[in-house]
Each structure stands twice: as structure tokens, then as C-alpha cells.
Amino acid sequence: MTKTLSLQAPAIFRGPLSALPATLEWVGGADGVLRILDQTQLPLRIEIRDCRTVEDTWEAIRMLRVRGAPAIGVAAAYGLCLGTRPFRAVPADAFLAKVREVGAYLRTCRPTAVNLAWALQRVTEAAEQCTRTGGNTWEAMLLAAHALAVEDAETCRLIGEAGAHLVPEGGGVLTHCNAGALATVAYGTALALLYIAHQRGLRFHVFVDETRPLLQGARLTAFELTTAGLDVTLLCDGAAASLLQSGRVQLVVVGADRIAANGDTANKIGTYGVALAARRHDIPFYVAAPLSTFDRALASGAGIPIEERGADEIRRVLDQPVAPPTVQCYNPAFDVTPAELITGIVTQRGIATPVTAEQIARLFR
Amino acid sequence: MTKTLSLQAPAIFRGPLSALPATLEWVGGADGVLRILDQTQLPLRIEIRDCRTVEDTWEAIRMLRVRGAPAIGVAAAYGLCLGTRPFRAVPADAFLAKVREVGAYLRTCRPTAVNLAWALQRVTEAAEQCTRTGGNTWEAMLLAAHALAVEDAETCRLIGEAGAHLVPEGGGVLTHCNAGALATVAYGTALALLYIAHQRGLRFHVFVDETRPLLQGARLTAFELTTAGLDVTLLCDGAAASLLQSGRVQLVVVGADRIAANGDTANKIGTYGVALAARRHDIPFYVAAPLSTFDRALASGAGIPIEERGADEIRRVLDQPVAPPTVQCYNPAFDVTPAELITGIVTQRGIATPVTAEQIARLFR
């Protein structure tokens, strides 16, 4: 009984969005479930969904019910626990083989965000270490997943603290897609800067690209920022260059799905075009991300795999046709912004600026 | 009877899209109507709509049932005829006053495209001249509108002939919004280059930005190009920079809504961002437009009025909500691309390149 209680999900201070259900959370103890806020239904419906199996979790990540690199990592960590729970009683070697098998399966759900592989690795290492020392392996994995969740919220808060001073008092900030509380356990990455600045009493305006095809800017970012009481203006992705030209924006800040060792950054499709327009108008362009988003094994962005998604995300909007039904589509989920267009990368250990391999390496020392 | 017959709408060779109802056409003689293909219903429904009054015409232009700078001009010319027809019998001075009054009303329906004012001016001048020489004023106006329609189709074909050699054999072309047959009486402006190249047997691939908020790229350009048998790939506006980065595009060509004397070009929102990405990757960026799209009274693009449209175009897609219902929106219909980002401007009198006030002035000599 005591043991079960210690496996209960930890309480996490969720900051600006505590009035909403959590982006994702473990509910219960050893027999618990992963509960997610189904982001495909926002902002029209606030629906939670319980993942009881690894297949549920795989589907929830693949279908973007839970999305955002940090949130995907934590969800996958819990998914690994769900997928191995039925095998808790098997011998250690067989159990570890199962851990690796379920981990390999979870790695297939989305290819670009490196946090997913990173989080699975963390939980797998906990299992390996526990096996060596003879503890309760599965319980150690669940505790490792809980630790990841706690860490993610704290990391995001620290990112916000590290970058909040970049927010222009009385000015405008542009963001793309959703790198907010809905993309993490709490606070977000890019939006953490804005939440902390807002908590500090700064007044500023946030411009949000709607972010086609899946409209995460319109559906999620505009929703979470207005829920938290910030001033928001929504625009179509094509209007971003014109907005930056207009002089109303003094800071661009976005999240990241994978950052190479040299600072080249994969983020939601459209980010690269925003970075080009920011450079044209000498507006600082920052990326905000936890260290887990760096893939230091990749020398540059050229090696980042880019997920290509289905044509119907473009041919249809909200399940209604908007284009000839058989037209071919180009639908990469991400693009890569070269490091030289990025003013700085805000992390929980401070800001790498200028964005060079050396400055990034310093964050990891 | 003979006179009525001579007022019949002229036959216009409609080229690549002759299988579809005309973008707009006068049907009948002196008692005729302006018949338009309702573009708000495409590509799902092919619906025609008869404008019998100037108010019908104003509504059709304002609601984008007929759109595209050249098509708007011709529609407005016919609208001026519809609005003054009930006053045919009044004395010349009173009739001319009515012409100016109806023209002023039509100028209010959309502010950015200069073709609208230009076409109204042409028909008004026909009325003034006819009054001086004592002819049938209203009939002269209708004939002037017919002449504009014939001229527009021929102008567009000439634009296509002037620029078709720019289309890369075996390569890729990117376009934004709809500067096609649906934006003109026939052929289009930017797409005229592609139609003529296709008629000449060239093989190439066309990439089409979907063009939020109203999705003219998805709904109209992808539709008309596939109807005409071209190879088309549709993408979200945010993916254009990534596409240009990928090396698959060797030419960008777009239309224009107003071009200042120095070549600064107002075109559909998103064009400026595409131009920035094209410059970054050294891809030729051309504008294609008739001379009537130039506003030589404006020294630069800074003076071009930019239409700001309603927030619900962004907050809703196909009348379904996609964002918090009260969020503010930034929704300019156009942006201005500076001349220095434009490789050349293709007109019915050849190509202005480099894009300078001098090269443009030469086209008008």
C-alpha cells in the first residue's frame, strides 16, 4: 500500500493554465492511466482522454491529441510504462527486451522531435540501472517518467525566467504554432517567456500565426494566451512578413522540435519564412527550447528527418473539402531555420547567443 | 433591331478554360445582364449568378464572387452600364452626372486594385466623348465595356506570350493566390505564362500556395490548373519558404493588384514573404500584370491603400469556428513587395527588367 502511494503522480504547479485540465498527467498509482487533454478538439471542446495502453498513447501522439516536443517526450515515457506494465512479473532479461521493443514501437509514432527518443532513453536507462541493482524495475520506470514530468514543468519555468527580459515593454511579440503550456507539462517554451513577463506585470501584445495546416496557432496558442489573460491578435501565416514590415513587432519567439549541434533548428513548417522576414527587418528572432531538444549528434540541420504528413490535412479543413479532392500536396510538418538567422536560443541554462556550436556546447558543460 | 444586335457581347476565345462557364460575361444585348461564375462556391459547386443591377455587381465584387484585379475592372465597367441603364432617356448633363455618381459608388466596393478605377474611367470617358459628339451615350458605354472585356482576354494572352519562355522545362514554378483565368476574362496574368508554355508542349510542375484566409490558391488556382490539365501540387502558405529552400522551384510568378511607378507591387497577402524566400535562394521572382494595373501616379508602394478585411475570415474557415470567437485579427488582404525583390514585371508590351521607374516608363511609351 505504501509502495503504491509512492508511485502516485507528483503534484505539479501548472502556472498560467491551472484552470484547464493538464496537457497530460498520470492519474493514479501503479495501476494508473495517462490522461491527456485532447488537443484535436480545442478550442471548441475541452475533452480529456485516458490512455490505458501503449497503443492508445501511440495513437494520441500520432494523431496530435498530445503534441509539442516536450509533451510528446513525457507522454512517450508514460507510454513505455503502460506498454511494459503487463510484463512486470517476467524475468529481468525478458522484461528489458520488452522495454526496448515497446520503446522502438513508440519511436515510430513521430520522427522529428528528438525529445521523444530522449525521454524513452531516460526511462529505459532507469530500467537498466534498476535491473543491475535488483530493484522493482517497472516501478523505477514509472518514477523516472514522473521525474520527467516534474522536470519538464520546472525546465519550462526556467526557460521563461531566462528569456522574459527579451519581451518588449509596450511592444509586440510574434510567435508561430504552439510552443505553449499545451506543448509541455506546464508554461511552454516560447510562451513561457511571455507568461513570466506577464506575471512580472509587463504590458505587451502577442501576435499569433494561425499555423496551417492544423491551425495550432489559432486553436491552441490564441486559446491558451487568451485563457491566461494576455492580449492576442491572430493572423494568417502569409501575413507574418507584412506584420514584421509594419513595425509592430520587436521580438519573434518560437519553439523547436530538434536543434542540431550548430543551432540549425527544425520547428513547425512556416518558421523558416518568419525567420527570413525577421532578418529582413532586423527584428530579434529567438528559439526557446529545453536542452532535451538538442540533438548534438547532428552537426547541422541537414540531417534532421522531416515528417511529411498526409495530403488531406491541406485538401480539407475541419473535414470539409477546400481543394480539388485528388490534387497532390506538399505537406512537410517542419522546416529547418539555419542558425545564422537565429538571434539566440533560450534554454533552462541561459541563452546561447550568438548561435554557434561553441555557445551551444557551453550550455551542456 | 440591328442596333440591339450590335450591342451583343462579343465572342471571346477563352483558351485553356473554355470548358467552364466564363469568369464573367455580358449575356444579351442592351437589355442584357452581367453573368458571373460565383467563385465563392468553387471548387465544390459551379454556380453562375446574374447581376441585373449595379447593387448586384457591387455585392459580387465586394463578396469576392468575382475577383482578381482585371476581372474586377471589367465587372465594374459592366456594373456602371447596369447602374445607368434606367437613366438612358434623361438629358445628357443629368445622365453624365448619374454616370459619375454610379462610378463613385462602384469605386467603394474594393480599395486596392487600381484596375477598377481605371475601367470605370474608360467607360466614363466613352460616355463623355459620346455626349460631346451627340451619339447614344449609354450604348457607347456598353460598347466600351465590351471592348474592355475583349481587350482583357487579348492582353492576358499577350502577357502569357511575353513570359512563357521564363517557365523552366522539366522544372518547378511556384505561384501564390489566383492570377489565372478566373481572375481575368481569360488566360489570367501569372497563369497565362503557364498556359502558353503548356500549349507549347513544355513539361513542368506547378506549386500552388493555398492562400489563406480565402484559399484562392486551393479553391481556384489548383482547380483551374488541374481542369486545364497541368501538373499541380498544393501547399500551405507557410511551406513556401521550405519549398524554395528544397531546390524544386526555378521560377516564382504572381499577379498584382496595384503596381507603383517604381515597381513596388501590391498583391495578395503572403506575396512579400514568398519574394523574400525567393531572394534568399536566388530564384527569379516575376510579377505578371496588364498595364492597367500600374498606378503611375504613385511614386512608391508606400502610397498604396491596403484593404483590411473582417476578422471572421481568419476565425472561421468555411463558416466553422477554428479560433476563440472573440480573438482580435490582423487581416490585410494585400502586402507590398518592394521593386528590388522583383526580377521582372511581365506585361502585354514585354518585360520590365530590372524593375526600375525607367524600365516601367518605357512600357508606356
pLDDT at A3 over 60: no
DSSP letter string, A272-327: HHHHHHHHHTT--EEEE--GGGEETT-SSGGG----B--THHHHEETTEE-S-TT-
The alpha-carbon gap from B97 to the nearest alpha carbon of chain A, in Å, equals: 40
CB B223 within 8 A of CB A326: no
A221: left (phi over 0), alpha (psi -120 to 50) or beta: alpha
Q: Residue A303 belongs to a domain with what CATH number?
A: 3.40.50.10470
| pLDDT attached to residue A20 | 92
For residues A286-305, average pLDDT: 96
A83 in the same domain as A182: no
Q: Is A113 on the interface with B (CB under 8 A)?
A: no
Point out the domain boundary residue: A157, A176, A194.
A157
| pLDDT attached to residue B19 | 87
For residues B206-226, average pLDDT: 97
A174 in the same domain as A121: no
For residues A118-140, average pLDDT: 93
Sort A353 into a burial class: Cβ within 10 Å, 0-12 / 13-18 / 19+: middle
Q: Is A335 on the interface with B (CB under 8 A)?
A: yes
- With a pLDDT cut of 90, the percent of chain A lying above it is 90
B124 in the same domain as B195: no
- Give the span between the Cα atoms of B105 and B116, in whole angstroms: 12
Q: Of A257, A264, A295, A335, which one is the catalytic site residue?
A: A257
The alpha-carbon gap from B155 to the nearest alpha carbon of chain A, in Å, equals: 29
Q: Is A92 on the interface with B (CB under 8 A)?
A: no
A222 in the same domain as A357: yes
| pLDDT attached to residue B135 | 83
Point out the domain boundary residue: A122, A157, A192.
A157
Other beta carbons less than 10 A from residue B18's beta carbon:
12
| pLDDT attached to residue B164 | 98
Asked if residue A276 belongs to a domain, the reply is: yes
Interface touch A273/B269, C-beta < 8 Å: no
| pLDDT attached to residue A318 | 81
Q: Is A242 on the interface with B (CB under 8 A)?
A: yes
Q: Within A34-189, where are the H helices?
A: 54-62, 69-84, 92-107, 114-133, 137-163
Interface touch A330/B44, C-beta < 8 Å: no
Measured over the CA atoms of residue B257, residue B260, residue B263 and residue B264, the dihedral's sign is negative
| pLDDT attached to residue B339 | 98
The alpha-carbon gap from A283 to the nearest alpha carbon of chain B, in Å, equals: 15
The catalytic residue positions of B are 257
Asked if residue B8 belongs to a domain, the reply is: no
For residues B52-64, average pLDDT: 97
CB B82 within 8 A of CB B34: yes
Asked if residue B147 belongs to a domain, the reply is: yes
* ipTM of the complex, rounded to two decimals: 0.93
A109 in the same domain as A165: no
The distance between the two most distant Cα atoms of chain A, rounded to a whole number of Å, is 65
| Best B326, B327, B334, B340 residue to mutate vs chain A (most A CBs within 10 Å) | B327
B184 in the same domain as B52: no
Q: What are phi and psi of A52, to 5 degrees?
A: -105, -15
For residues A60-69, average pLDDT: 94
Pairing status of strand A172-175 against strand A205-209: parallel
Cell of A323: 481543394
pLDDT at B5 over 80: no
A123 in the same domain as A103: yes
A230 in the same domain as A142: no
For residues B103-114, average pLDDT: 89
The alpha-carbon gap from A223 to the nearest alpha carbon of chain B, in Å, equals: 6
Mean confidence (pLDDT) of chain A:
95
A187 in the same domain as A139: no
Asked if residue A9 belongs to a domain, the reply is: no
| pLDDT attached to residue B335 | 98
| pLDDT attached to residue B26 | 97
Interface touch A330/B234, C-beta < 8 Å: yes
Asked if residue B6 belongs to a domain, the reply is: no
Let me know the angle formed at the C-alpha of B220 by B215 and B225, rounded to the nearest 5 degrees.
Answer: 130
| pLDDT attached to residue A135 | 82
- Give the span between the Cα atoms of A157 and B132, in whole angstroms: 78
Interface touch B314/A218, C-beta < 8 Å: yes
- Give the span between the Cα atoms of A78 and A143, in whole angstroms: 10
DSSP letter string, B37-94: E-TTSTTT---EEEE-SHHHHHHHHHTTSS-SHHHHHHHHHHHHHHHHGGGTTS-HHH
Assign B109 to helix, strand or coil: coil
Sort A263 into a burial class: Cβ within 10 Å, 0-12 / 13-18 / 19+: buried
B203 in the same domain as B108: no
| pLDDT attached to residue B133 | 85
Closest by Cα among A13, A47, A7, A43 to A27: A7
- Give the span between the Cα atoms of A48 and A225, in whole angstroms: 20
pLDDT tens string B312-355: 999 998 888 999 999 999 999 999 999 999 999 999 999 999 99
- Give the span between the Cα atoms of A205 and A168, in whole angstroms: 9
Q: Is B44 on the interface with A (CB under 8 A)?
A: yes
Asked if residue B272 belongs to a domain, the reply is: yes
Assign B112 to helix, strand or coil: coil
A229 in the same domain as A328: yes
Q: What are phi and psi of A251, to 5 degrees?
A: -150, 135
| pLDDT attached to residue B113 | 74
pLDDT tens string B119-156: 999 999 999 999 888 889 999 999 999 999 999 999 99
Q: Residue B121 belongs to a domain with what CATH number?
A: 1.20.120.420
Contacts of A238 in chain B (CB under 8 A): 176, 209, 211-212, 237-238, 268-270, 273
For residues B35-54, average pLDDT: 96
Chain centroid offset of residue B223 CA: 17
Show the domain range for A107.
Answer: 15-157
Q: Is A277 on the interface with B (CB under 8 A)?
A: yes
pLDDT at B255 over 60: yes
Q: How confident is the model at residue A5 (pLDDT cuts 50, 70, 90)?
A: very low
Q: How confident is the model at residue A46 (pLDDT cuts 50, 70, 90)?
A: very high
B176 in the same domain as B64: no
Asked if residue A92 belongs to a domain, the reply is: yes
| Best B175, B205, B237 residue to mutate vs chain A (most A CBs within 10 Å) | B237
Point out the domain boundary residue: A120, A136, A157.
A157
Domains held by chain B: number? 2
Asked if residue A5 belongs to a domain, the reply is: no
Q: How confident is the model at residue A79 (pLDDT cuts 50, 70, 90)?
A: very high
Interface of B with A in 284-323 (CB under 8 A): 311, 314-315, 317-318, 320-323
Q: Is A212 on the interface with B (CB under 8 A)?
A: yes
Q: Within chain B, where are the H helices?
A: 2-6, 54-62, 69-84, 92-107, 114-133, 137-163, 190-199, 216, 222-227, 240-245, 271-280, 312-315, 357-363
